[in-house]
Amino acid sequence: MEIFKADVAIVGAGGAGLRAAIAVAEADPSLSIALISKVYPMRSHTVAAEGGAAAVTQAHDTLDYHFNDTVGGGDWLCEQDVVEFFVGQCHREMVQMEHWGCPWSRRPDGHVNVRAFGGMKIERTWFAADKTGFHMLHTLFQTSIKYPSIKRFDEHFCVDLVVDEGRVQGVVAIEIATGEFRLIQAKSVIIATGGAGRVFRENTNGGIVTGDGMALAYRHGVPLRDMEFVQYHPTCMPGTGLLFTEACRGEGGLLINKDGYRYLQDYGLGPASDKPRNKFMELGPRDRLSQAYWHEKQKGRTIQGKHGECVHLDLRHLGEAYLRERLPQIYELAVEYLGVDPAKEPIPVLPAVHYTMGGILADGKTASGLPGLYSVGECSSVGIHGANRLGSNSLTELIVFGKVAGLEASAFAKAHVHGKSDLLHKQAEDVQRRAQAIITRQGGTERSSVLRKEMAQSMENGCGIYREAKSMQATCDTIDTLRQRYKKIRLDDHSKAWNTDWLMAIELGFLLDVAQAMVYSAINRKESRGSHQRLDGYTERDDVNFLKHSLATFAGDDAPRISYGDVKITKSPPGTRAYGAAGEKADAERKAQQAAQGGSHV
Amino acid sequence: MSDTTTRIIEIEVLRYRPEQDAEPVKETFQVPFTNDMSVLQGLQYIKDELDGSLSFRWSCRMAICGSCGMMINGKPKLGCQTFLRDYYPGLVRVEALAHFPIEKDLVVGVEDFVGKLASIKPFIIPKEPRTLEQGEYLQTPAQRDEYEQFSSCINCMLCYAACPQYGLNNEFMGPGVLALLHRYNADSRDGAREERMQIVHQEEGVWSCTAVGYCSEVCPKGVDPANAVNQNKVNSAKDFFLRFVAPKGAGK
């Protein structure tokens, strides 16, 4: 097996991985970087992010406002010290992206423009039309070409980490084109592999979003934190789950039911007004909007479509010219995929799985408990999203924490030497043997596509917008069984070059482990908070017992062990989470209370 | 025809398995489809239900990641953005993207394209360096419009499969990369136009283009690479003649 030695190995070359690589290269050009990705960097799923990236920008906005929006939006399950650091870095890092050429949309005076987004008190979302992720990814990829110390391993599929002497020492990767294995030995490793939306049936995610890095860290004993919190984005395409960005509503789009009624006013988000108001109605947070859809469906006020019950996203009043300028991709998607002209007809939409709030347990500097291992981006739980992420915080997260991860991994690499290659090589050969056994296995009876579909359907049944013990238990049982059946997979393809049958089977192994962590974390959280809402007697938030992070620890063939960790509260004690007029009232009460206590915060 | 009605369409795929086929061979699959199914979804059906050994790249399903470029009935297209209904009751013929070496089935080698992309300094080389403390560069919407279209390339390489020149001689830089070069040259923040034009002056740069324009026709994102190539031809010619009469840099 070929061995490549690097100082820092980065798995995943989307927004987070590329930003981390650039940070390492700029911190010390003498450090060698291996940037490993199962796709060419510009295919990474950052490409599909549409709406924008948050950063306090306007004179009447403050870091405290962004902090409060994020912590309240996360239903107080955020690490507040980390959020405080984050909001303070956002603007600087967005300016850095601008200097690197990101084509941000502009105001007439040439300054970067900002738009409104759900759950955000002030407009602070930087955008590049409705292709923000695409432009950020291509800007980062093209900028990364400047740095000769970044060696890319494009289309290399990472199968495992190698761990020795109590620290991570590299990764084993398959060169997809040949099926050859490579050991990439490194002094520190950053995981930046994105989320795991593909454990669900109807989702906005690309086919590559299979939780690889989460599963790798998890199998090596690093807990997955807050995995029960899965974001349903309220406006997705029926059938495929493709995304219609929140920016549709940021720009003034309305949500209406079958009677043409703006139903969100019935769910604590009103009153409805003609002009969009931040944190009201359509500019409420994603969890609340998806939950409102569910209730409308129960009441029979949704529209029956060919792929299930829908509501309407109405953009007609914005007019074709404005839509073409601000939402050109949405316009094309509606026309090409649905045959709907959004300037003339409302777009049928429904919620679909979009984002995993939880991930690899990381401290505020992206470090895991396994020395030398860092994680960043959607795969990571650095602690800023809590129980519900606000739209446009995640693109900024990639940049802010990508840089942090790069700097931290650089410092670790400089303080350590490479371990013994022969020992690591032996480990890598074991990894290779296990991975190849999937191809050569005799007597297998299971088709991986069948297991994948059963998993995705079961996760939708058990871990939907609203949850109950009974259906979650059924999903626990199904996933447990699927993990056993997984051992009997039979492939159609027994070749080496571009064997995607094999790679998808390995991905399915990752997906099943992550799915199991999700559903067991969910059934054990006996309260309702943010995106985790229960119908079975635990309908309220329970700060006494569950103002805690869940931690799922891998237990081999058994179900994961679920334990709990403290939440870091610095300046925002848990309060009433409310939007619309109720939110304004709650804010005023909070302020009065704090004034009475002599507090100066919030 | 209602969208939920299932019909059967024939998809003929040009297979090539390097460890077993001496040359590419055709294989036909019967695929049930509904009106809203894309060619990519047809291929996914084949892989999931009929033959897991079929290989193709895909990810986003929404024409932004650029992975699923392929020849569909002889034309370069994105599989995710092309619909089976438009071919029914006829046959859908799917082949690897033209002008690139086939690695397996519908997967082509893209090293040449990515290498070319990296060769043209596809990053801002600032006209006036600026610190982060100084904030963003000012750029009016009109200045942004100068390059925005050319920054929308998703690197799907359909234009390379469409380009007869690239097919004859892959030394040619090709439409997508020239559009990207133009994107940086036309950005008000950038000051490295001259450096990049050195690359374009070469025979393999813009001058190989014979102005067929098929590249722009197949572009799924309206980037219009032919326009970028032609603007560079004008610029290249201008630079060529100006260097005899004007001091360095006057060709801007």
Which of B66, B86, B108 is the C-terminal boundary of a domain? B108
Does A576 lie in the same domain as A523?
no
Does B147 lie in the same domain as B231?
yes
In this structure, of A51-60, A355-364, B231-240, the range with the lowest mean pLDDT score is B231-240
User: Which pLDDT tens digit goes with each residue over A119-169?
Assistant: 999 999 999 999 999 999 999 999 999 999 999 999 999 999 999 999 999
The mean pLDDT value of chain B amounts to 91
Q: Are A534 and A542 in contact (CB under 8 A)?
A: no
B227 has pLDDT over 90: no
Q: Are A170 and A74 in contact (CB under 8 A)?
A: no
pLDDT at B248 (0 to 100): 41
Mean pLDDT, range B154-169, rounded to an integer: 96
Of B20, B47, B64, the CB nearest to A47: B64
Burial A114-150 (b: 16+ CB within 10 A, else e): bbbbbbbbbbbbbbbbbbbbbbbbbbbbbbbbbeebb
Which of B60, B81, B108 is the C-terminal boundary of a domain? B108
Q: Are A337 and A207 in contact (CB under 8 A)?
A: no
Does B189 lie in the same domain as B158?
yes
A600 has pLDDT over 60: no
B250 has pLDDT over 60: no
Does B126 lie in the same domain as B239?
yes
Of A110, A131, A135, the CB nearest to B138: A110
Does A588 lie in the same domain as A481?
no
User: Which pLDDT tens digit goes with each residue over A492-535?
Assistant: 999 999 999 999 999 999 999 999 999 999 999 999 999 999 99
Does B229 lie in the same domain as B129?
yes
The span from the CA of B52 to the CA of A508, in Å, is 14
Confidence grade of residue A115 (pLDDT, cut at 50, 70, 90): very high
Give B69 to chain A, closest Cα distance, Å: 12
Read off the CATH number of the domain in which A497 is found: 1.20.58.100
Residue A280 in any domain: the answer is yes
Confidence grade of residue A598 (pLDDT, cut at 50, 70, 90): low
User: Which pLDDT tens digit goes with each residue over B120-131?
Assistant: 999 999 999 999
User: Which pLDDT tens digit goes with each residue over A154-212?
Assistant: 999 999 999 999 999 999 999 999 999 999 999 999 999 999 999 999 999 999 999 99
Q: Are A89 and A397 in contact (CB under 8 A)?
A: no
Residue B137, token pair as written in the block? 């560069």
Q: Rounded to 5 degrees, what are φ and ψ at A415?
A: -90, 0
Full residue range of the structural domain in which residue B235 is found: 111-245
Residue A137 in any domain: the answer is no
pLDDT at B251 (0 to 100): 36
Does B225 lie in the same domain as B132?
yes
Q: Across the interface, do A108 and B140 touch by the CB < 8 Å criterion?
A: yes
Residue A233 annotated as catalytic? yes
| Number of domains into which chain B is organized | 2
Q: Does B190 touch chain A (CB under 8 A)?
A: yes
Q: Does B179 touch chain A (CB under 8 A)?
A: no
Read off the CATH number of the domain in which A274 is found: 3.90.700.10
Interface probe for B, chosen from A97, A107, A127, A134 (most Cβ of B below 10 Å), is A134
Does B175 lie in the same domain as B128?
yes
Residue A61 in any domain: the answer is no
Does B194 lie in the same domain as B211?
yes
Of A47, A98, A336, the CB nearest to B81: A336
User: Which pLDDT tens digit goes with each residue over A406-442?
Assistant: 999 999 999 999 999 899 999 999 999 999 999 999 8
Does A498 lie in the same domain as A445?
yes
What sign for the dihedral angle of Cα B238, B240, B246, B251? Answer: positive
B208 has pLDDT over 80: no
The span from the CA of A348 to the CA of A337, in Å, is 12
Q: Which amino acid is at A38?
A: K
Residue A43 annotated as catalytic? no
Does A576 lie in the same domain as A548?
no
The span from the CA of A196 to the CA of A516, in Å, is 12
B246 has pLDDT over 50: no
Which of A325, A353, A381 is the C-terminal boundary of a domain? A353
Peptide bond into A346 cis (omega under 30): no
pLDDT at B241 (0 to 100): 56
Confidence grade of residue B229 (pLDDT, cut at 50, 70, 90): confident
Read off the CATH number of the domain in which B50 is found: 3.10.20.30
Mean pLDDT, range A81-100, rounded to an integer: 98
- Please state the ipTM of this predicted complex: 0.96
How many inter-chain contacts (A to B, CB under 8 Å) are there? Answer: 159
Read off the CATH number of the domain in which B188 is found: 1.10.1060.10
Does A577 lie in the same domain as A550?
no
Which of A353, A368, A385 is the C-terminal boundary of a domain? A353
Does B122 lie in the same domain as B219?
yes
Does B222 lie in the same domain as B129?
yes
Does B115 lie in the same domain as B103?
no
Contact list in A for residue B3 (CB cut-off 8 A) is 306
User: Which pLDDT tens digit goes with each residue over A452-506?
Assistant: 999 999 999 999 999 999 999 999 999 999 999 999 999 999 999 999 999 999 9
Residue B252 in any domain: the answer is no
Q: Across the interface, do B114 and A154 touch by the CB < 8 Å criterion?
A: yes
pLDDT at A594 (0 to 100): 82
Residue A80 in any domain: the answer is no
A351 has pLDDT over 90: yes
Does B116 lie in the same domain as B214?
yes
The span from the CA of B160 to the CA of B182, in Å, is 17
Give B92 to chain A, closest Cα distance, Å: 19
Of B2, B123, B136, the CB nearest to A142: B123
A602 has pLDDT over 50: no
Does A539 lie in the same domain as A467?
yes
Which of B71, B86, B108 is the C-terminal boundary of a domain? B108
> CA nearest B155 in A: which residue?
A42
Give the up-direction half-sphere exposure of residue A503: CA atoms within 13 A in the CB hemisphere: 31
Rg (CA), chain A: 23
Q: What is the DSSP track for A369-399?
A: SSTTEEE-STTEE-SSSTTSPPTTHHHHHHH
Q: Across the interface, do A106 and B144 touch by the CB < 8 Å criterion?
A: yes
The span from the CA of B137 to the CA of B128, in Å, is 9
The span from the CA of A272 to the CA of A224, in Å, is 40
Does A512 lie in the same domain as A586?
no
Q: Across the interface, do B143 and A110 touch by the CB < 8 Å criterion?
A: yes
Full residue range of the structural domain in which residue A578 is found: 572-602
| Number of domains into which chain A is organized | 3
Does B151 lie in the same domain as B39?
no
Determine which one of A19, A138, A152, A233 is catalytic.
Answer: A233
Contact list in A for residue B59 (CB cut-off 8 A) is 39, 43, 45, 206-208
Confidence grade of residue B236 (pLDDT, cut at 50, 70, 90): confident
pLDDT above 70 coverage of chain A, percent: 99
Of B3, B63, B135, the CB nearest to A95: B135
Give B99 to chain A, closest Cα distance, Å: 18
pLDDT at A599 (0 to 100): 53
Contact list in A for residue B139 (CB cut-off 8 A) is 106, 110
